[in-house]
Structure 1
Amino acid sequence: MEAVPWGEDDAAPHERIMQTTATLDGDGTDIAHARHLAAGFLARVRAERGLPVSQRAVDLTRLVVSELVTNALKYAPGLVVLDLRIAGDVVEVVVWDSDPVLPIARAADAGRVGQHGLEIVMAVAQGFEAQREPVGKRITARIALMDDPGGAVTGRPPR
């Protein structure tokens, strides 16, 4: 896994792009490294920018990263690119892979073993999109950085 720094070195801290990118080659440790990268990124956002980031946001981001990276490495040949960035009050988890086939959420089935990753991502994310690219596809999931005082995730009504 090759990680790219999250901001421009010559930019003032408040002008830095809140983003980090990693290229994953499927070496067997990529999924754990990607989860660690996500947690470290959100810790830096909290420490260096003073943005509020709930523990729930960290946990959900790690889960979403794990599910999306696992699927990309399992189903697409070649490299996978993970991009994490802050957009307002959400963290965007973007995963690109070389397979142009868009994922399809399957109907819930408690008896099915495995293949629940996309269902999980869609259940915990405030936004989800899958787009074909000139080469491959890009999956984007958005996760609220904070919970509201009532316990609901920001941007999503309580259930």
Structure 2
Amino acid sequence: MELQQAGPHDARTAGVCLDLDGGPGCIAVARDVLAAFLRERASHAHHPFHADVVLVASELATNAVRHAGGPFSLELGLLPDGIGIAVRDSSPALPRSRPADGTGGRGWPIVESLARQVSVFSDDDGKTVYVELAW
């Protein structure tokens, strides 16, 4: 999948924005907030969609912690036919697929396969990965 260039802030309708420290437990916090957001704002969407959204957001958050090694932000926004997720971290390095092994390599292909759109905006201060999932 070729990455489209995103604008610096590509979320459509902000619903939740979290600033996370990248420390232990931050990915679980992100999942919990995301699950609550989906229950409250997208209860009409089918259950597999909720699971896909949580999985994609978890993978993006994990990548931010693992590859940027510091604080990151997670923004969720409702779209007319799905959800937008933006993760901003301090590394300008673009995500890339790599062969899966015992240390990883599975997350980015999962994101690419579940999202209908994947865009990355990189600048001197880091990058934003923006994905959309349709219900």
Asked if structure 2 preserves the Cα contact closer than 8 Å seen for 1:18 and 1:45, the reply is no
Matched ranges for 1:1-159 at <5 A: 19-46=15-42, 52-106=44-98, 109=99, 112-113=101-102, 114-145=104-135
Asked if structure 1 preserves the Cα contact closer than 8 Å seen for 2:97 and 2:105, the reply is no
Structure 1 stretches of 4+ with a deviation exceeding 3 A read none
Asked if structure 1 preserves the Cα contact closer than 8 Å seen for 2:74 and 2:86, the reply is yes
SS in 2 for 1:70: helix
Asked if structure 2 preserves the Cα contact closer than 8 Å seen for 1:72 and 1:97, the reply is yes
**Structure showing greater relative contact order (alpha-carbon pairs closer than 8 Å, 6 or more residues apart):** 2
Q: CA offsets per residue over residues 70-124 of structure 1, 9 Å max, x none?
A: 1101111431000000122111111000100111123xx5x63322110111011
TM-score, structure 1 normalization: 0.71
| Structure 1 residues without counterparts, runs of 5 or longer | 1-16, 146-159
SS in 2 for 1:23: strand
Asked if structure 2 preserves the Cα contact closer than 8 Å seen for 1:86 and 1:92, the reply is yes
In 1, the alpha carbon distance for the partners of 2:51 and 2:105 equals 20
SS in 2 for 1:31: helix
- State percent identity of aligned pairs: 31
Q: Higher strand share goes to which structure?
A: 2
